[in-house]
Amino acid sequence: NAGVTQTPKFQVLKTGQSMTLQCAQDMNHNSMYWYRQDPGMGLRLIYYSASEGTTDKGEVPNGYNVSRLNKREFSLRLESAAPSQTSVYFCASSELRRFTEAFFGQGTRLTVV
Amino acid sequence: TQLLEQSPQFLSIQEGENLTVYCNSSSVFSSLQWYRQEPGEGPVLLVTVVTGGEVKKLKRLTFQFGDARKDSSLHITAAQPGDTGLYLCAGGQETSGSRLTFGEGTQLTVNP
């Protein structure tokens, strides 16, 4: 039971470097999400994709881009990393309906120095 | 702007004690979910409540959705060290589809 798989689990970047966080789900879910988690801030939505072929900004999209490659995969790109992007990033997926459960990956701990 | 506010932010208690965590908002939610997160892992769903006044029980955990659907509480009876973790409430709104708004979380530590 893989569920939602994120790679990498840990990453250290220098300011200005770029990287892509990968996410794949095997539950045939239509909707996928990227969140960041900072101490005392809960989970904040960066971008989401309600269904294949669509993406929309969440609460904190600045400095990020996303690609919904297919129904399974949703990647998050940092074009020019900044120290303020140091955080734990979670990918999640769910069915496209109300009251549905969100399934999360194990997270990527990113440090920008 | 945080639409959902949780309190307390931190809670450290002894095994066997009871506790309540609160999740409050000025907005109406169509559903309220509670998740539990352990270190190094993603959050995992505990319960979903959708009706104002609804009460759900999961073993020693009791969840309540406020009558006006603006608040929720999580009560744990006779806490155990295995209950230690970060508890997150998350609200869904009619206009948001499957998107959720998360509270800041309550870090619970139960000491043996």
Binding-site residues on chain B for chain A (CB distance < 8 A): 2, 4, 6, 9, 30-31, 33, 35, 40-45, 48, 50, 88, 90, 92, 94, 97-105
CA distance A71 to A53: 8
Task: Please indicate whether, in this complex, the C-beta atoms of B98 and A105 are within 8 angstroms of each other.
Answer: no
What pLDDT was estimated at residue A1? 67
What pLDDT was estimated at residue B2? 55
Q: Which residues of A touch B43 (CB under 8 A)?
A: 43, 90, 102, 104
What pLDDT was estimated at residue A96? 82
Question: A88 touching B, CB under 8 A?
Answer: no
The more confidently predicted of residues B55 and A51 is B55
- Does A87 have pLDDT greater than 80? yes
Tell me the pLDDT tens digit for each residue of B3-54: 899 999 999 999 999 999 999 999 999 999 999 999 999 999 999 999 999 9
Q: What proportions of chain A, in percent to the nearest 5, are helix, strand and coil?
A: 5, 50, 45
The CA distance from B35 to the nearest CA of chain A, in Å, is 10
Ramachandran bin of A32, using left for φ above 0, alpha for ψ from -120 to 50, beta for the remaining angles: beta
- Does A104 have pLDDT greater than 70? yes
- Does A36 have pLDDT greater than 80? yes
Mean pLDDT throughout B92-106? 86
Optimal mutation site among A100, A103, A106, A108, interface B, most CBs of chain B within 10 A: A100
User: What percent of chain B has pLDDT above 70?
Assistant: 98
Q: Which residue has the tokens 């990227």?
A: A34
Complete edge-to-edge strand list for the sheet that includes strand A4-7: A4-7, A19-25, A74-78, A64-68
- Does A99 have pLDDT greater than 90? no
Q: Which residue has the tokens 């120290």?
A: A83
- Mean pLDDT over the full length of chain A: 95
Q: Are B75 and B61 in contact (CB under 8 A)?
A: yes
Q: How many residues does chain A have?
A: 113
User: What percent of chain B has pLDDT above 90?
Assistant: 88
Q: Which residues of A touch B98 (CB under 8 A)?
A: 31, 50, 94-98, 100, 102
